[in-house]
Amino acid sequence: MKRGFVPALGTPLDENGHLIKESYERQIELMIGAGCVGLLSMGSMGQQAFLLPETCVETAECAVRAAAGRVPVFCGAMDNSIARAKRRIAAMEHLDVHAFVLTTPYYEVDTKEQVLKYFREVAASTKHGIFLYDLPGVTKFKITLDMVKKLRETTPNFIGMKSADINMLRKIRLDPAFEGFEIFYSGLDNMDVAYPWGVGNILDGMFTCTPATTKRFIDAMEAGDREAAGKALNEILDLRDYMCELDLWPAYSAGMNLLGCSGLHAPDWSEASPADVVEKVREVMLKMGEPVV
C-alpha cells in the first residue's frame, strides 16, 4: 500500500438498521477524493458490533463495489467466538477484500494462548488476509509484541495490524521477520509525530467527517511542512473533542449528515442531536473548510 491515511468509515443506517447505500457511496467518494489509500469498512466507528448480520454483508458489498478497485478495502469481522467469527467471514468471503480485521473477543477472555487460538482458527477459515485490531480500551485485552511474533510465525495470511502502540509498531517495522507486514497507526493525537517515522499508514474514524482538513494534513506532511500539518491535525482534534463534549455518537452522526451522508451513523440507542447541537457542529466544520451541504 502507498503511505497515507485510511478512514474508518461510518455506517449510515435507516430506521430499520439497514444500510443507506447512496449515503455510504457518497462517503467513500469523499474519502477517495481526499486521497485516502484504503478504506476500513465496519470498524469501531462503523458500528460493526451493533450491526445486523445481513447489514454487515450489504455494507461490505457496497464498500467493495463503490471502491471499484481504486483503493483496497478492509472489512471488520469482530466477534466473541471462533464459530461466530467464521460465520461472519464466510458471509463475506466472496468479496474482493484486502483483509478481514479482528479484535480480541471483547465479552470475556482470559489468556494469551486463548486469544492466539481464536486468531489462528479464524484466520485459517479464509483465503483473505487477516489484520489484528489492537483496541484494549474496548476489548480490555492488550495485544503484545510476543503474541504478534507467534502469530506471524504460524499464520501465513496474518498480514498486518492496527494499533496506537507506537513502540510496538516501531519494533515490528525494524524487524526483518516482518518484511511486507502492513501497519496502521491509530493514535490520532500524535499522528503528525508518528507519520514521518514511517511506522505505517494512519487510520481513524474522524477522517470521514473532515475530508478537506485531512487532505491538508497529509499534503502538509508529505511536503515536510510540520507547522501546517500540526495546525490541520489540531483542527481535527478540536472537532473530535467538541463532539465528545456534546456526545460523540450523535454529534458524529450530525457531522456526517452535514456532509450530505444521510442516515444514523450511530448505534440505534443513540439519541438524535437536537437542532442547536447540529448548528454548533455546522459552524465548526464550516470554519474548518469542510464541504458542508
Per-residue pLDDT of the chain (293 residues; tens, 9 = 90+): 788 999 999 999 999 999 999 999 999 999 999 999 999 999 999 999 999 999 999 999 999 999 999 999 999 999 999 999 999 999 999 999 999 999 999 888 779 999 999 999 999 999 999 999 999 999 999 999 999 999 999 999 999 999 999 999 999 999 999 999 999 999 999 999 888 877 779 999 999 999 999 999 999 999 999 999 999 999 999 999 999 999 999 999 999 999 999 999 999 999 888 898 899 999 999 999 999 99
CB atoms inside a 10 Å sphere around CB 29:
13
The pLDDT, as a whole number, for residue 164 is 95
Residues 8, 222: Cα–Cα separation, whole Å: 21
Residues 233, 93: Cα–Cα separation, whole Å: 36
- 131 contacts 161 by C-beta, under 8 angstroms: yes
Please give the CATH number for the structural domain made up of 5-225: 3.20.20.70
Residues 225, 62: Cα–Cα separation, whole Å: 36
- 266 contacts 249 by C-beta, under 8 angstroms: yes
| pTM, to two decimals | 0.96
Strand intervals (E) in 39-90: 39-41, 73-76
Give strand pairing partners of 76: 101
The pLDDT, as a whole number, for residue 200 is 74
**DSSP category for residue 129:** E
What would you report as the CA-atom Rg of the chain, rounded to the nearest whole angstrom?
18
* Residues recorded for the chain: 293
CB atoms inside a 10 Å sphere around CB 114:
13
The pLDDT, as a whole number, for residue 199 is 77
Residues 234, 229: Cα–Cα separation, whole Å: 9
Residues 94, 265: Cα–Cα separation, whole Å: 26
User: Residue 93 contacts by C-beta under 8 Å, 6 or more apart in sequence?
Assistant: 126, 127, 128
Q: Which three cell numbers stand for residue 53?
A: 448480520
* Residue linked to cell 451541504: 293
The pLDDT, as a whole number, for residue 71 is 98
Q: Where are the domains of the chain?
A: 5-225
The pLDDT, as a whole number, for residue 108 is 87
Residue 233: φ, ψ to 5°: -65, -40
**Consecutive H or E run containing 289:** none
Give strand pairing partners of 185: 163, 202
The pLDDT, as a whole number, for residue 123 is 98
Q: Supply angle C-alpha 241, 218, 3, rounded to 5.
A: 115
